[in-house]
Amino acid sequence: MKTTGANDILGTISPASLTDRAITYAIDIAKSIYRLTRRVQRTADVVNSEYNRQHWQKMLASKAWLGAASLADFLAPPDPTERLRKVDGRILRIDGQRYYRYRIEALSELLLRHAGNTQQIVELGCGSGHNLFSLHLARPEMVLKGFDIAPNGIAAGREIAGHFGLSDKISLDRIDLTDVGDPNLSAIAGEVVFTYFCIEQIPYDVRKVVENIIAAKPKRVINIEPTTELLDLTHPRDLVSLVYIRSVDYQTQLFSLLDRLEREGRIRILARERMPFAPSINNDGFLYCWEPT
Ligand SMILES: C[S@@+](CC[C@H](N)C(=O)[O-])C[C@H]1O[C@@H](n2cnc3c(N)ncnc32)[C@H](O)[C@@H]1O
């Protein structure tokens, strides 16, 4: 299966209308306000329940990879649900399969542009390895390693790698990024590492996680995470994101912390940007690429 570039999508679909956006934003804000009344705190137990015991467990049980014709088909399965998504910086109403086909290419372009000249990349908080498998399609020669706290995510990722004959190229193992004594932190020494919507899940330990990563001496770090810190609240969609992020209690301090660490001379920030793609309207990722000094 051919992956899809932004031009393939932008050539066939017009940006979402003002009415479509207004209605979608209003519904999203209403849902977030309802969630806010329930005051969920994103503790490690909540994350374990949402991801390890539900999301990754369901994926592991489904064995969806067994029915896919190829790795690309597995990463972008048929999904006719059309919703507003961000493609190449524009808000479009498109189905899940077209979005995820485009995302394979867009994610790899984004990561490889910041990774520098490396043959190996490590993802921290990789879940079942969707991002690593996407990267593999763009750069099959690379050695890719993923770490996550969720045993069911790791088990699913290992089965997927085995099924597609990739166990020599893509490996997954356990890590708890909040634990300074975790034995697998040493695996990132000298490596190019990235996080992708992982630190969002650890709002009460952002500083600890960043300190643990710095202490492990990676070569370069690419953090791709949503936040409230960099939103422009003159834009309605960023207001929607602010209320959403508060309602699900995602992290809100990573990028200010990295800015502070740069002022203190402990890291050097090489790039700051906003991601041009997102599967929904309310949780754009921001990217900082940095190196310990
Ligand atoms: C939103 S998912 C993202 C997964 C993956 N990056 C992706 O884009 O498909 C967040 C992941 O962070 C992991 N995570 C949460 N707390 C963690 C911790 N303390 N150490 C390592 N991983 C953690 C969760 O288990 C979950 O798989």
Q: What would the pLDDT profile of 226-252 be if each residue is shown by its tens digit? A: 999 999 999 999 999 999 999 999 999
Specify the pLDDT at position 10.
64
Which ligand 1 atom is the nearest neighbour of the CA of 177?
A: 20
Q: Which of 60, 75, 147, 149 should be mutated for ligand 1, with most atoms under 8 A from CB?
A: 149
pTM reported for the whole predicted model: 0.95
Instruction: Please say if the pLDDT value at position 260 is more than 80.
Output: yes
Contact between 102 and 137 under an 8 Å Cβ cutoff? The reply is no
Of the candidates 129, 186, 131, 183, which has an alpha carbon nearest to the alpha carbon of residue 159?
A: 129
Q: Which of 198, 211, 250 should be mutated for ligand 1, with most atoms under 8 A from CB?
A: 198
Contact between 144 and 157 under an 8 Å Cβ cutoff? The reply is no
Q: Give me the half-sphere count of Cα atoms (radius 13 Å) on the Cβ side of residue 8.
A: 12
The four Cα atoms 4, 7, 8, 11 give a dihedral, to 10 degrees, of 160
Q: At 3, is the pLDDT very low, low, confident or very high (cuts 50, 70, 90)?
A: low
Q: How far is the CA of 210 from the centre of ligand 1 (A)?
A: 15
Q: At 168, is the pLDDT very low, low, confident or very high (cuts 50, 70, 90)?
A: very high
If you average pLDDT over every residue of the chain, what do you get?
95
Q: How far is the CA of 146 from the centre of ligand 1 (A)?
A: 10
Strand 120-124 to strand 143-148: parallel, antiparallel, or no bridges (unpaired)? parallel
Residue nearest to atom 14 of ligand 1 (CA): 125
Q: 199 — phi, psi (to 5°)?
A: -65, -25
> From the CB of residue 209, how many other CB atoms can be counted at a distance below 10 Å?
23
Instruction: Please say if the pLDDT value at position 1 is more than 60.
Output: no
Specify the pLDDT at position 8.
76
Q: At 132, is the pLDDT very low, low, confident or very high (cuts 50, 70, 90)?
A: very high
Q: How far is the CA of 128 from the centre of ligand 1 (A)?
A: 9
Instruction: Please say if the pLDDT value at position 14 is more than 90.
Output: no
Strand 192-196 to strand 120-124: parallel, antiparallel, or no bridges (unpaired)? parallel
Specify the pLDDT at position 2.
55
Instruction: Please say if the pLDDT value at position 47 is more than 80.
Output: yes
Q: At 289, is the pLDDT very low, low, confident or very high (cuts 50, 70, 90)?
A: very high
Residue nearest to atom 17 of ligand 1 (CA): 149
- Quick one: fold of 6-292? Rossmann fold (3.40.50)
What number is the average pLDDT over the span 55-61? 98
Specify the pLDDT at position 7.
72
Instruction: Please say if the pLDDT value at position 43 is more than 90.
Output: yes
Q: At 6, is the pLDDT very low, low, confident or very high (cuts 50, 70, 90)?
A: confident
Instruction: Please say if the pLDDT value at position 96 is more than 70.
Output: yes
Residues in contact with 271: Cβ distance below 8 Å, sequence separation at least 6, in sequence order: 114, 287, 288, 289
Q: Which of 45, 103, 201 should be mutated for ligand 1, with most atoms under 8 A from CB?
A: 201
Which residues form ligand 1's pocket by a CB distance below 6 Å?
47, 51-52, 125-127, 130-131, 148-150, 153, 175-178, 196-198, 201-202
Tokens representing 206 are: 């952002």
DSSP 169: T
Residues in the chain: 293
